[in-house]
Amino acid sequence: MASRKRKDFKISLIVEAFHNLEKSYMDLKKHASLPEEEFISNRLVLDRVRIDLNLAFESCMRVCRHVSTVLGLRTSSKDCLRTLALHIGMEEGDKLQRFTELYFTYRDLKDAVSPKELHKFLKENLFVFKEFARAVVEFVKERTGNRLLIDFELLNEKAKFIKDSVKKIEFVLSQGPEEFRKKPMYYDRAKYFYQVAYDSLFDICKHLAPKFGIRKFGDDCLSKMIEAGIIPDIYYMDVFTMTNLKNRLISTWEVPPEELYEKLSQVAPKFKLIVKEISDSLKRLLK
């Protein structure tokens, strides 16, 4: 009889959900800090609080459902936060339960929640969202031994996308510049798989950059990795060309076939080399 496959924590799900929680938490904290009279009388603030409270609660619930499933806990939407909190040793289980009750009342409008009551509740209890996130993250770190919360499944998946996409690009390029120019199908395939490869590399960068201590980055994530020494600076111009080409393809789609062939011939072999450099840096980080 085949054994049941063990469920694992989905690190990216947890990180993404708590990232969304952080954004809504900061907005709620800002609004809860308003004087009571201003909070009560400002319709825009109350509407924003409703949206942020939904986002905060659902972000916590997304993690709660997942972690409870992995742990084999039987929970429902109305007791998941409290049940999981108690299971992982968090002391604020009752406050999470009160948040759950408030949320369902406030969301469904079954019973009126006065703005004054809501303001008081948020000021006194909002911190529990952050404590829940902290407790779950620490529990998952201890349980998995993955102190940096690195999603190796995601990294392997993206690396495979890069490998497969580069292979397809190289096949198209092997047909020669004249065939590439004459056949729109080759141009379209190369363009599509280049974007898959670049987006996958960027996803790797976006996931790992904070683990390497890079806190602020945007479209320049790969350049930031070069600045930090994670990717050697010999790849600076390659990364610049990759990013520039990606931006041109998504903004205008007017890269002449001759130029696209030339640029892809230049950067396609670099993808796997850059992935290897990032992998080597990660291995050193984890030692």
* Residues 85-95 pLDDT 10s: 999 999 888 99
Structure tokens at 280: 């080597």
Give pTM, 2 decimals. 0.79
Q: What is the pLDDT of residue 5?
A: 46
> All domains of the chain, ordered by start, with CATH?
11-144 (1.20.120), 152-286 (1.20.120)
Instruction: Give percent of the chain above pLDDT 70.
Output: 95
Rounded to the nearest 5 degrees, what angle is found at the Cα of 145, between the Cα atoms of 69 and 213?
110
Of 107-111, 128-132, 142-146, the poorest mean pLDDT is in 107-111
- Percentage above 90 pLDDT, the chain: 84
Average pLDDT across the chain, whole number = 92
Residue 251 pLDDT level (bands cut at 50, 70, 90)? confident
Using CA atoms of 30, 36, 38, 43 in order, give the dihedral in degrees to the nearest 10. 80
Contact 120, 101 (CB under 8 A): no
Question: pLDDT value at position 110?
Answer: 55
Find the mean pLDDT for residues 177-195. 95
